[in-house]
Amino acid sequence: MNQPEQTFSSLKAAAMTVVAAVAWLVVYGNLEPAADFLLGTAVLGRATPFGEALHFFIYEVPKVLLLLTAVVFVMGVIHTFVSAERTRAILSGRRLGVGNMLAALLGIVTPFCSCSAVPLFIGFLQAGVPLGVTFSFLISAPMVNEVALALLFGMFGWKVALLYMAMGLLVAIVAGMTIGRLGMERYLEEWVQQMQQNCSCGTDETDEAMSWAKRLREGVTHVREIVGKVWLYIVLGVGLGAGIHGYVPENFMASVMGAEAWWSVPAAVLLGVPMYSNAAGILPVVQALLGKGAALGTVMAFMMSVIALSAPEMIILRKVLKPQLIAVFAGVVAIGIMLVGFVFNFVF
């Protein structure tokens, strides 16, 4: 292809990408009104548990799929510029824990729920970022973000918000480092391992010569390959979360979390795992539980388990991780969350 043809092809591809990006923004920005409209058309509304669960499903499924598509596309384009080795060097760091700390801090500025954070998790794996570092992000993104911190500050004051941020980051960093040191890359699903091994980022010389049309096509190819493999798991995971979201048994949970026995914190974590919400969605429940006499640390452990260890997230991750790795991830994070709960109960 000669230079004028290559330039025209790149301009055409760029124009189509801009149109697609605008369409993406329009659709993403109107997901909640669309869910409200569809529910209103069905004469259900959100007043009933079923209506709330259905609204949650209609809103969350396209939201997570749109996020996954956007992230995978961008990571596919970035692959044509940055080799897996460079990406790995940026986030893995030269000293133990540096990459985990950077990934956990990145999670603070990404206000995603656990399922929405999975697309970036896959993108990091796709870029060759070490497994333990990706887990630090996956834990931090839903658990310690600016939405959670702002709401905690407004509801409980700066001391609670600051301690929550410090403990959440500590859990994310230590859990990621622990998983990284265990060397469990072999428990990634085969297609993920293959994707990492066949990273076609090329050398610097190849990257310089590649046209924008080809770079954008690489992004589309990544979307087809990855989204095509995980979309069903996303639908199933969010479906489970939606069913539970509409039926939160606050009175029962408050009776368990108000107990002074040592087992109240582990029990709160176990209660939180099957549920699914982001920080903004679960904090009103937290406030209601505290109003019914639940202990602060126990409720914090419950909240962290809901937003960092949700069952729907595990279903989605199953397409990427083998059961052994999911079990280690859940176990390490659960232990960290329980320690946070005990610390909060001791301090407050």
pLDDT, position 259: 61
Long-range own/partner contacts, residues 88-91 (CB < 8 A, 24 or more apart): 88/127, 88/128, 88/129, 88/130, 91/124, 91/129, 91/130, 91/133
Inter-residue contact 246 to 52 (CB < 8 Å): yes
pLDDT, position 148: 67
Residue 253 CA to residue 267 CA, distance in Å, equals 9
pLDDT, position 270: 86
Q: Is this structure's pTM higher than 0.75?
A: no
pLDDT, position 22: 93
pLDDT, position 206: 44
pLDDT, position 23: 92
Query: Which amino acid, 223?
Result: V
Residue 79 CA to residue 195 CA, distance in Å, equals 12
pLDDT, position 76: 74
Query: Which amino acid, 348?
Result: F
Regions of the chain with pLDDT less than 50: 200-206
